[in-house]
Amino acid sequence: MPDTVPPEAAPPPTDLPPVEARRPEFPALDPTSGATGGTPLDSLRDVPITITARLGHVTLPIAAILRLGPGAVVELEETISTPVELTVRGVPFATGEVIVVNDHFAIRIKNLLPPRGGKADL
């Protein structure tokens, strides 16, 4: 077997042109430019955010999941009185109960959860 050098141990190529690295220069920020008199978050008020309602969960072995088919019933661990959790990007922000409004599921918020620590208030 021929002697080979692993790629991580090979010396760097010497035929590459030199690279000049420097810090970028940015114009100074003007906090008053573009200000419209509102709060900093006002420009975000129309951005759509998906809210997810987590009804419940169950842990099943793969063999049981493979046996599921049309008509199968998956019983969740939560009871009917367990509050539904509302999340944004996986972060819980409220709990509530399932209701029906005009033939659509809806959640009546019962409790707003405290903000998670670690972030400054905006």
3-state percent helix, strand, coil for the chain, nearest multiple of 5: 10, 25, 65
Q: Which two tokens stand for residue 80?
A: 């009917």
Which parts of the chain have pLDDT scores under 70? 1-13, 31-37, 118-122
Distance CA 113, CA 88 (A): 12
Identify the pLDDT of residue 5.
57
Identify the pLDDT of residue 68.
96
Identify the pLDDT of residue 74.
96
CA contacts within 13 A on the Cβ side of 8: 0
Identify the pLDDT of residue 19.
82
Identify the pLDDT of residue 21.
86
Q: Which two tokens stand for residue 70?
A: 């049309």
Distance CA 86, CA 114 (A): 13
CB 95 within 8 A of CB 111: yes
Identify the pLDDT of residue 122.
47
